[in-house]
Amino acid sequence: MSHLLHLDSSARRASFSRELSARYAATWAGTRTYRDLAADPVPVIGEAWTEICDALLTASITNPAHYADVVETPAQKQAWAIVEPLLTELLEADVVLIGAPMYNFSIPAALKTWIDQVTFPRMSLRGKAFVVAGARGGTYAPGTPRAPFDHHERYLRDFFAGHYDVDDVRFVHAELTNALVDPHLAAREADRVASRRQALEGVSWAG
């Protein structure tokens, strides 16, 4: 049975990205692991984590099953105790679903910290699929004036392809979410509603 790793990273308990990721998860017929990276933050990496990476490079170890072989010092063991459950969840997943709003043109720090913890040198996840349920305060769609500032989808797409060797990545975004609260975007309310509707339909299709 296929397994889903569902991650949320929005600081808002009731957010558009959470709504989209929940819609996808509701269509999932297999088993599921859920982790809320905002409510239960992952610690930032420290020097011991970098020592583990260096040791893996030196020993040319690329198989995650042997990562723990290089863990030696007490500090490294503490670092590995944080990494191991996160990495196990990632490796067990057939599909990784990420609820990820755009913060300051990029991804939330909570999500970046998780990525840092579970990513090691020459680590391939080919064969897995990633689905990103995103939300943006404005619109960053191709052809719009702010499209060049999209370091949200671009970063994740480049990272999954360039580091994890994954090409099965799907993005669904709700755009213009700030039209609900920003008077300067009030005229775009109809566009916000349409974008949300399309995103909910799109993420259901992706599931």
Task: Tell whether 10 is in a known binding site.
Answer: yes
Q: How far apart are CA 182 and CA 185, in angstroms?
A: 5
Task: Tell whether 104 is in a known binding site.
Answer: yes
Task: Tell whether 102 is in a known binding site.
Answer: yes
Cβ pair 8, 37 in contact under 8 A: yes
Sign of CA dihedral 195, 169, 117, 57: negative
CA 59 to chain CA mean position, Å: 29
Identity at 151, one-letter amino acid code: H
Residue 64: which of 53, 51, 50, 48 has the closest Cα?
53
Residue positions forming the annotated binding site: 10, 15-17, 102-105
- Binding site as annotated, residues for FMN: 10, 15-17, 102-105
